[in-house]
Amino acid sequence: MSEVFMMVTITDRKRAPEFLEFYKENKAEVSIVTLGKGTANDEVLDYLGLEVAEKTVILSIVTDSVWKMLKRGLQRELQIDVPGVGIAFIVPVSSIGGKRELMFLTENQDFEKGEETILKETTHELLVVIANQGYNEMVMDAARKAGAAGGTVLHAKGVGMKRAEKFLGVSLVSEKELVLIVTKTEQKNDIMRAIMKEAGMETKAKSLVFSLPVTSTAGLRLIEEEEE
């Protein structure tokens, strides 16, 4: 059976097209791309003779076998181990909302369904919602009704969205909003179902949602005590 992961790639913005093309050619066609900025201080940048680093963050869903293949290619073809090229890492996905959505995100990756979650005994989960731009309030309204306390919105761009019609029967625009929601594990399924029902593929938001296990948290105690 296959395990599913969110692969996170961080690289210099100028090199992002190389990474995206490499992923497209190697079974990771659907990605979400957002922008970032390096955090090295001025003294370090001056010492190295560098300018402030503009970064691209690429999020992709991959199976374990595809990750192993991509990792080899990242090391051999894109020289990711050379300092300054970038980093890539994976985080286990515990669930994906909807069978069609799962097929869309893992096409050509030899996915075989196994147990829902990889990490046991986790008390919290991170819900990652990919929605059309301008519909984050629709997503959050649905999530709050099911018990979510709040979320964080990032602006991003979808890659490989043209393939959505094959699996989902809809066209997806490339401009996206990424909504991140941390919730208790026991509330996860209710919130995911609410988002799929009120802001899913049958709505203008056209949201995809999946969850990642969270092994530890800080800053949620007062919020949860207030809820209780």
Instruction: Report the chain (228 residues): mean pLDDT per 10 consecutive residues.
Output: 80 89 87 74 52 77 89 90 84 85 74 57 87 93 91 88 72 86 91 96 93 73 51
* Sheet with 175-184: strands ordered across: 86-92, 4-12, 54-63, 31-37, 152-159, 175-184, 124-132, 208-214, 95-96
Question: Angle at Cα 217 formed by Cα 215 and Cα 220, nearest 5°?
Answer: 145
pLDDT of residue 164: 74
- Residue 127: name the closest of 105, 150, 161, 100 by CA: 150
pLDDT of residue 135: 94
Q: Tell me how far CA of residue 115 lies from CA of 5, 92, 98, 108, 111, in angstroms.
A: 13, 12, 15, 20, 12
pLDDT of residue 222: 46
Residue listed under structure tokens 């050509």: 108
pLDDT of residue 187: 92
pLDDT of residue 50: 47
What residues contact 22, with CB distance under 8 A and at least 6 apart? 70, 73, 74, 77, 78
